[in-house]
């Protein structure tokens, strides 16, 4: 099945998603790698993450005259976020985008929080950047550009494949 979802995500939309489904997202997604996840747990999120989509990505950004422009944004390996992801999902995030899968503690957190893990295809950073309409904000730039949280306004961001659904099914099994 193919589904187009608006962010923030509502639980009823996730109930229909099953492992193997294709998803496109419209709204705002937040990039967050391991250092951002760690800080979210330690200090709280700088933005509301209730119903949020978190993208395991280190975008390539240029800055011109105080304005940021995204050059490319592709997934990074999700397993680096395993120590933090369950706690962040417990804070209200509903979709995690990455590549390579996550461990059973994250699978349990996805089920517990009615959330899903979707994969973005590695090597498609130029394709995904076309769906980014605007960089709305950046937080924690002191972590460095790849580790900062970039708030991206996107339209039809995808295709993304549901790899781990809210019922515990996983394409990695």
| Residue 56 a catalytic site member | no
Which member of 37, 56, 94, 99 is catalytic? Answer: 37
Spatial separation of the C-alpha atoms in residues 58 and 45, rounded to whole Å:
18
Spatial separation of the C-alpha atoms in residues 157 and 154, rounded to whole Å:
6
Count of alpha carbons within 13 angstroms of residue 50, beta-carbon side:
1
3-class state of residue 9 by DSSP:
coil
Residue 101 zone, left/alpha/beta (φ > 0; ψ -120 to 50; rest): left
Segment holding 15, helix H or strand E:
helix 11-16
Catalytic residue ranges: 37
């Amino acid at each position: 099945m193919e589904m187009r979802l608006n962010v923030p995500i509502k639980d009823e939309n996730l109930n229909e998603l099953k492992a193997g489904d294709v998803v496109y997202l419209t709204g705002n997604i937040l990039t967050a790698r391991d250092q951002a996840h760690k800080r979210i747990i330690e200090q709280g999120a700088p933005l509301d993450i209730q119903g949020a989509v978190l993208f395991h990505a280190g975008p390539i950004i240029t800055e011109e005259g105080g304005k940021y422009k995204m050059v490319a944004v592709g997934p990074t390996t999700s397993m680096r976020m395993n120590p933090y992801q369950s706690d962040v999902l417990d804070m209200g995030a509903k979709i995690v985008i990455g590549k390579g899968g996550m461990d059973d503690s994250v699978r349990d957190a996805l089920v517990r929080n009615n959330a899903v893990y979707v994969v973005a295809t590695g090597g498609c950073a130029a394709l995904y950047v076309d769906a980014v309409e605007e960089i709305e904000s950046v937080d924690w730039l002191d972590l460095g550009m790849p580790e900062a949280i970039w708030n991206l306004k996107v339209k039809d961001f995808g295709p993304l494949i549901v790899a781990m659904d809210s019922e515990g099914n996983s394409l990695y099994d």
